[in-house]
Chains A and B, each alone.
Chain A
Amino acid sequence: MDTIVTITAVSTARDSAEKAIDNAFSEIRKLEQLSNFFSPDSEISKINRNAGISEVKVSPDIIALLEKALYVSEKTAGAFDVTIGPVERLYDFHRRIKPQEDEIRKNLPLVNYKNLIIDRNRSTVFLQKKGMLIDPGGITKGYAADRAADVLREQGIKSGIVAVAGEIRTFGLKPDGKPWKIGIKNPRAKDQEDDIMATIELSDMAISTSGDYERFFIADGKRYHHLLDPRTGHSAGGCKCVSIIAKKGVFTDSFATGIFVLGPEKGMKVLEKLGFDGIIIDSQDEIHMTPKIRGKIEFKKTAEQYHFS
Chain B
Amino acid sequence: MSLRKLLSSTTSADRILFLLLLLLSFSGILFVREVLPGGRTVQIEVNGRPAYVLPLDKDRALTVEGPLGKTLIEIKDRRVRVTESPCHNKLCIQQGWVRSGTIICLPNRVVITVGDHDKSTTVDATTG
Contacts and interface: CB of A to CB of B under 8 A. Distances in A.
Contacts of B127: 166-168, 182-185, 207-209, 243
B125 A180 contact: yes
Nearest to B100: A192
Interface stretch (A84-92, A115-123, A193-201): A193-201
A233 B113 CA distance: 38
Contacts of B98: 192
A263 B79 CA distance: 39
B104 interface: yes
A241 B127 CA distance: 11
B125 A163 contact: yes
Contacts of A218: none
Contacts of B99: 191-193
A6 B104 CA distance: 12
A181 B124 contact: yes
Nearest to B128: A185
A277 to B, nearest CB: 13
Contacts of A13: none
Contacts of A196: 123, 126
Interface in B112-128: 122-128
Contacts of B106: 4
B126 A182 contact: yes
Nearest to A241: B128
Contacts of A163: 125-126
B123 A199 contact: yes
A8 interface: yes
Nearest to B126: A183
Given A192-B101, A195-B101, A243 B128 contact: yes
A195 B124 CA distance: 15
Contacts of A243: 127-128
A211 interface: yes
Interface of A: 4, 6, 8, 161, 163, 166-168, 170, 174, 180-185, 187, 191-193, 195-196, 199, 207-209, 211, 214, 241, 243
Question: Which 6 pairs across A and B sit closest by C-beta, in order of nearness?
Answer: A185-B128, A209-B128, A183-B123, A192-B101, A183-B126, A209-B127
30 contacts: A4-B106, A6-B125, A8-B124, A161-B124, A163-B125, A166-B126, A166-B128, A167-B127, A168-B127, A180-B125, A181-B124, A182-B125, A182-B127, A183-B123, A183-B125, A183-B126, A185-B127, A185-B128, A191-B99, A192-B99, A193-B99, A193-B100, A195-B101, A196-B123, A196-B126, A208-B127, A209-B127, A209-B128, A214-B128, A243-B128
